[in-house]
Amino acid sequence: MIPMPKTSVSTKPGLMDPLEDSTNGSKGKLFVVGTPIGNLEDITLRAIRVLKEADLIACEDTRRTQQLLNHYQIHTPTLSYHEHNEMTRAPELVIKLAEGNNIALVSDAGMPVVSDPGFRLVHLAVRHAIPVVPVPGASAFVAALAASGLPVDKFRFLGFLPSKKAARRRVLEENKSSTKTLVFYEAPHRILEMLRDVRDILGERDVVLAREVTKVHEEFWRGTVSSLLERAKGKTIKGEITLLVGGATAAGETKPAESPIQSEIQALMAERGVDERAALKAAAKARGISRSQAYRLLQSEKAKQS
């Protein structure tokens, strides 16, 4: 058992820390521990204590986790647990838990299980009546949501979309009518392709691209899908990316004014290397209107400029 410092124990009934629970017999506990997503200071005092006092730390990459452990002078033994070995490693760890060992599960960054390995171990521990104790910590998508400026009273976290285009577009199509803010993780080498799919299927929405959250080069790109694609033109995007997409306009609400279709067409022509006719067709599809409607809108904008 891992004891709590006396100063942390509450005398109020019902507030006993899970580490103090003595009803578990000889079984150990599985602690699901949140770790920093970039800045090493983003870790709780409780997480540091649990990592120090656990019998074993199961981690996605032992070398990466060791950097964190060295920083906080934590000497607990580590064991690899990742997507390529979890089929066999999860039962091994459950046996250790059943024998009375306390194990801390961590991922490379953030909360384990959330778009990271860990579900199989947690599920197996629950099946064997082994207590699973969450030790909350940093989360990239929660941090990005808080700073995005998009509505966050309702949101839908979808993690990483399929890497294949057809499958990715199917998922976007399934969420086209959702009025919730949509939250995704994406690899930097696929982000431009994903943004194009978002524009083609969901339309010209407000989006936020959060890159390297909590790290030295943290930045937020805010705007419409087309404006972000224009900004990214000719740039090499690197780092961890969270993409947030504003929800569909709810029935009865006033739809926000869209950006001029003329500038959207010009951006499409430059980005895709197509003529005005093809860009007009793509813009119409993104806005959910017919090509003739888009053409009339374009001519109206041109007439106002003359």
Phi and psi at residue 220, to the nearest 5°: -125, 125
Residue 63 burial (CB count, 10 A) = 10
pTM of the model: 0.72
Q: What is the pLDDT of residue 184?
A: 97
pLDDT tens per residue across span 122-159? 999 999 999 999 999 999 999 999 999 999 899 999 99
The predicted structure's pLDDT at residue 19: 53
Regions of the chain where pLDDT drops below 50: 1-16, 20, 22, 251-257
**Gap between the Cα atoms of 31 and 100, Å rounded:** 13
User: With contact defined as beta carbons under 8 Å apart, do 205 and 246 qualify?
Assistant: yes
| Residue 50 near residue 2, CB atoms below 8 Å | yes
pLDDT of residue 16: 41
Domains of the chain with bracketed CATH: 25-138 (3.40.1010.10), 141-245 (3.30.950.10), 261-299 (no CATH)
